[in-house]
Structure 1
Amino acid sequence: MQDLQSVLARSASTLQTISDSATLDAEVLLCHVLEKNRSYLRTWPEKRLTNEQLRQFSRLLERRQQGQPIAYITGTREFWSRDFIVNPSVLIPRPDTETLIEVCLQLLESKPGAKLIDLGTGSGIIAITLAAEYSQLKVTAVDNSTEALDTAQNNAQLNHTPNIRFLNSNWLAEVPQEKFDFIVSNPPYIDVNDPHLSKGDVRFEPNSALIAEQQGLQDILDISQQSHQHLSHGGYLIFEHGYNQKQAVHDLLEQQQYQNIHCVHDLSGHPRVSYAQWLPQL
């Protein structure tokens, strides 16, 4: 019998060997096919699927069995209570990045009309979330990938954030000579030899958005150096980084003459976001 309950039970069992969240994965995929939310599955467990719905679900289930991330299969991911389009040209949004959003929102309280640039915007979750929270904020979103920029622009339209401009640039290299109050980035910070690169969703995500030279620190160094010419006096440089990079990032920022360096832990208690001020002697 092909009702929701039996289909879910069978598919969750099938996914047990490749996923730590097999039941949730099956529910999300089935909801995607049905265009319903998960409460529908619990309210109507006896509802029967059509043959076409079963065929669609089987195709999605097969992709998940191959290890493909749920977000790439469905084409969407929620972040900060908003929906974002995702595809293999961009990273999948993760809860860790919400820590960076929290830091930015706290610092923006006293400067809601500030100028902010998001480097390596990817799907645009940082730029769009901040632009949506502060409509007076003047946001620039930068990425070196035209495919990623297309995705971010689509997400900006989806989330109604007209206060963002998009630029194709390798970090700040092609950004006009102007000053920003905030430079924000979730750059590549994983070392090329990190064993996590061969596990889970990251196997399918773009290496250019994950891996950095110099034990994962090269892009953080490049951005911190380039930011000298683009930060206003007292402006903030804010990074997401690896859980084991707190001291290295602190030392790097100190060497680059940033001041008031702080690190904030994520929901799992790991050091995740570092920020500092640019206060050169005038």
Structure 2
Amino acid sequence: MSPIAAALRDATARLDKVSDTPRLDAELLLADACGITRNRLLLDPPKDVPREFEELVRRREAGEPVAYILGRRDFWTIELEVGPGVLIPRPDSEALVEGALDHFETSPPRRILDLGTGPGSLLLAALDQWPEATGLGVDASEVALDYARRNATRLGMADRAAFRLGDWGEDIDERFDLVLCNPPYVAANSPDLGTGVAEYEPHEALFAGEDGLEEYRDLAPQLARLVRPEGLVALEIGHDQAETVLAIMRKAGLSSMLRRDLAGRPRALLLVPEA
């Protein structure tokens, strides 16, 4: 067995207790230590294992997310810089972009709003999809906004994406074609979070009171006034929150269709103003 193959085998075994994807984690960390892509690692592996690999495995073994260790995360069609202080984008959130694509199949959105933008995940993914659109990302964290601005610049979208500090949609008097939002929706003391999530990722981007619904109650009236009559709100939800959040949104004058994630779980409400 080659040194690379042995290193991957041993790292996978060590990470099995902290990760649902230990082999993938090991490959990503080793590729980073080698300064090459994962594809290059698998197709044309180097002969020797860099000394830095052991430290990366130790950090992951302690629960630190791979995205923080690498400093980046793929989302939709873009790669984002991420790190401590920002929520790591998940593939589940791509259901919001997919739903928006279906809604705007024949007439692309021109103005896009991303509430709770974090590192710019949803806004920049949408702007990459619709190159004629412009958008605004809002977040309550200056740390997150710094990441978002850097990501917009690196992706060549700084002239189309503006970012501001704010409390959801307060003080915004514009209406948008598309409003994207992935709010905190985890109930306090929830046992369902994976290893390292609560320990490393920002609590203000995860938790929303005792029932996980606090932010939806605050958001509902704001969403209704921020979206244009023919527009769409794509709102992420917890897998068991669909009926409850739908009821909250209906009271604010929004009707919806449910969108599921790749695992088939309820993940997004696609909301439109009621006629």
Give secondary structure in 2 for the equivalent of 1:188.
Answer: coil
- The residue correspondences of 1:79-158 to structure 2 (distance < 5 A) are 79-158=75-154
Q: How does 1:62-77 map to 2 (within 5 A)?
A: 62-77=58-73
Q: Secondary structure of 2:118's partner?
A: coil
Unaligned runs of 5+ in 2: none
Match of 2:266 among 267, 271, 282: 271
Task: Find the counterpart in structure 1 of residue 160 from structure 2.
Answer: 163
Which residue is 1:209 aligned to?
Answer: 205
* CA deviation after TM superposition for structure 1 residue 200, in Å: 4.3
1: CA distance, partners of 2:128 / 2:250:
32
How do 1:28-39 and structure 2 match up within 5 A? 28-39=28-39
Bigger mean CA deviation after superposition, 108-117 or 137-146: 108-117
Corresponding position: 1:42 with 2:45: no
TM-score between the two structures when normalised by the length of structure 1: 0.90
Distance 1:207 1:44, change over 3 A: same
Answer yes or no: is the 8 Å Cα contact 1:30–1:57 preserved in 2.
yes
Q: Which residue of 1 aligns with 2:245?
A: 249
Aligned length: 274
* CA 1:114–1:81: 2 relative to 1, 3 Å: closer
From the CA coordinates, give the structure whose radius of gyration is larger: 1
Return the offset for 1:95: 1.1
| Corresponding residue for residue 238 of structure 1 | 234
Alpha-carbon displacement from aligned partner over 1:168-214 (angstroms, at most 9, x marks no partner):
11101133x22212221000011113112474434311110011125
Report the identity percentage: 33
Partner of 1:19: 19
Q: Which has the higher contact order (CA 8 A, sep 6+)?
A: 2
Quick one: which of 222, 225, 239 aligns to 2:221?
225
Q: TM-score, normalised by structure 2?
A: 0.92
Cα distance in 1 between the residues matched to 2:20 and 2:194: 16
Q: Distance in 1 between matches of 2:137 and 2:3?
A: 45
Q: CA deviation at 1:45?
A: 4.6
Three-state SS of the structure 2 residue aligned to 1:216 is coil
Q: Contact between 1:141 and 1:165, CA under 8 Å: does it hold in 2?
A: yes
* Change beyond 3 A, Cα 1:199–1:40: closer
The CA deviation string for residues 200-246 of structure 1, in whole angstroms up to 9 with x for no partner, is: 43431111001112511111121111233323223322200000011
Aligned-pair distance for 1:264? 1.1
The CA RMSD over aligned residues, in Å, is 2.0
